[in-house]
Chain A
Amino acid sequence: MISREFTLEDQLAFARLSGDFNPLHVEPMAARRSLFGRPVVHGIHTLLWAMDRWIASQVDTVGITSLKATFERPIGVGEEAILSTRHASPEEARLDLFSDGQRSTHITLQLTSAPDGVVSPLIREDPPRTTPREWSVDQLDSASGALELYLNEGDAQHFFPALAARLSPSRIGVLLATTRLIGMECPGLYSVFSELELVFTSQVGTSGALQYRVRRFDQRFSALTFDLRGAGVTGVIKAFVRPKPQAQPTFELLASMVGKNEFESQRAIVVGGSRGLGEATAKLLAAGGADVIVTYHRGGTDAERVVAEIVAGGGKASAIPFNVLDPDGHQLAEKPAYPDRTHLYYFATPAIVIGAKGGLHPPLFERFSHYYVTGLVNTLSAFRLPPSTHFAIFYPSTVLIDEQPAGLAEYAAAKAAGESLCHALAKHDKRLRLYTPRLPRMATDQTASLVPVHKEDAGPMMLRHIRAFHQSCQGGAH
């Protein structure tokens, strides 16, 4: 068993080598707004590393006649990737990469002992850096083109020494071109690479370039199937057009749903208010006359956008940086205490990663619990809350505690622990009022998926719950 972490530096080096600078892989802030919630390793990067490590472990010279790779779930940058390899037969090797206790990449290699002498024209340098393309849906049906092969052999030998020693440069150039095709060319900016099948041939074609053509575009799932030929390969790639970041309703629209002074008695802190449910909540509260402090960890630009929109619409809001995982609230050290605050809305969350089916993967549960349990304690401590005789906490829980769908046990269990913490706090501090609704799926970056799933609009759903919370506080109910 071999393991490693792919760092952001590794990712940038691979982007230079392959030409695939898609922000999903190299720009943490942009990747944060993707359906994966964090920068993730290029699938082809994991493939080349797995092949390299497997070849390095082989005593005999190994030739590869074809390969199939399925990128089942992404590996986050900085997360541990574990490689498991086995010979299914003398002619077939299977390589599996795991992360968070689940298989991420599944690779099958067909092997030969014969040397591979095919050489396609190759430009022996890094590909030029370009900007990822965007396509309209009606263009994708008929997309086609050709990519020249590039390989900076020195870097290839440095990053994948065993692979570079055994596989011809043009074969590596083809593999690198496939990630450039999906991440930069088609579908480009909003893409996910899901499957690659390549057969190595001796046919390099007239140009020697890798030619692609979309065979099928299934609009139900935004799924693309490409045929590949030329450059000594035939093959198929499957990819998706991934959802764009989920915008929340505008302040103007939300203000039309809310009474102007409906929430004017609230001086609220909205933790994690830079996007998603926190953003919708901050706007609804401000639209109803509340004075809102939005906190953000990494999304400073998003938080400033939310505040600017609220202020431009006549609402009261400000933004401050705050990391709920910082037990001492060091970021707030220079700030005044917040004795005037009356309500806390706690939306801090990590990327909601799907876990294993059946059982529970402890590291993933711990990651969620740090945010949903420890983070809440840290927040109360850092802001010195509750500051007054009456203080109220809105803790968004989830219907998944009741539904228990496969793969979300870690998330649901951590949310349930957060609920339990809230009730423990309220039991021992009579000044606290609580609202812990089990919310349904709403349209946010966190619920974005390749498979269409029904989601509620965040605006009306959050307004319903904010009103219920507000009324319960007014009525004095716990």
Chain B
Amino acid sequence: MHETSTEKLDQIVADILELDITAISDTLTSDDVEHWTSLNHLRLVTAVEEAFGISLSMEQIESIKSIGALRQLVCT
């Protein structure tokens, strides 16, 4: 079965933030996730940019405070 962009994104999030993929939801915020540090935020952004062939602006990068915000930027 073909992987959807949300599934692809969730796998990146799970790898970098060390989350169980089933625990990833729109409402999860950077404050909730132990390993969502500023360094891992940058790792997440660069991994997502490489995987999806996109480039996010600084405003967009700063706006990613939750999984929902990230999904909205990348998957819509």
Contact = CB atoms under 8 A, between A and B. Distances in A.
Answer yes or no: are A and B bound together in one complex.
Answer: yes
B42 A451 contact: yes
B37 A223 contact: no
Interface residues of B, number: 15
Nearest to A194: B39
B34 interface: yes
B46 A451 contact: no
Given A223-B46, A449-B38, A451-B38, A406 B30 contact: yes
A107 to B, nearest CB: 14
Contacts of B30: 406
A452 B58 contact: yes
Contacts of B58: 220, 452
B46 A450 contact: no
Contact of A451 (B33, B34, B41): B41
Interface of B is mostly: helix
Contacts of A354: 37
A99 B46 CA distance: 27
B31 A357 contact: yes
B6 interface: no
Interface in A197-245: 218, 220-221, 223, 238
B42 A73 contact: no
A194 B46 CA distance: 14
Contact of B40 (A72, A218, A220, A223): A72
B34 A357 contact: yes
Contacts of B46: 218, 223
Nearest to A406: B31
A103 B18 CA distance: 13
Interface in B31-64: 31, 33-35, 37-43, 46, 58, 61
Contacts of A195: 43
Nearest to B61: A220
Contacts of B42: 221, 223, 450-451
Given A218-B46, A220-B61, A452-B58, 19 more contacts: A72-B35, A73-B37, A103-B35, A194-B39, A220-B58, A223-B42, A238-B43, A354-B37, A357-B33, A405-B31, A406-B30, A406-B31, A407-B37, A449-B38, A450-B38, A450-B39, A450-B42, A451-B38, A451-B41
Interface of B: 30-31, 33-35, 37-43, 46, 58, 61
7 contacts: A195-B43, A223-B42, A223-B46, A357-B31, A357-B34, A407-B37, A452-B58
